[in-house]
Amino acid sequence: MRYVEIVSTDVDSFGDEEWNDLRAHLSEDEIAELGMFLVGNLGFHTFFGSLKFYPMFAPDGRLVSQEESEAIYGDTPESLQGEAAE
């Protein structure tokens, strides 16, 4: 989990200690796969967060339009609150 946190918040601080810890538990292929998974997800969420999408479903499970979702969840839905805090 430390790897995930560092890669998503301060990749420049990732050093030999972190690499050695990963290598103690994972193969090089597994480390590469984990890295690709992380950057794919981080990039996906960053990109779609910038589009200001609202949740597709109401709390009761109904599929709703973006307009109805905005009315339900307000100006800043939970999925965008991290951006609002910045």
Q: Which residues pair with 63 in a beta bridge?
A: 57
What are the C-alpha distances in Å from 22 to residues 8, 50, 53? 16, 32, 35
Which contacts qualify for 55-62: CB closer than 8 Å, 24 or more apart? 55/79
pLDDT over 70 (residue 61): yes
Nearest to 54 by CA among 36, 33, 71, 30: 71
* pLDDT for position 6: 82
pTM above 0.85, yes or no: no
> Quick one: average pLDDT of 75-83?
60
pLDDT tens digits for 13-56? 888 998 999 999 999 999 999 989 988 888 887 787 778 788 88
With contact defined as beta carbons under 8 Å apart, do 53 and 69 qualify?
Answer: no
* Better pLDDT: 16 or 75: 16
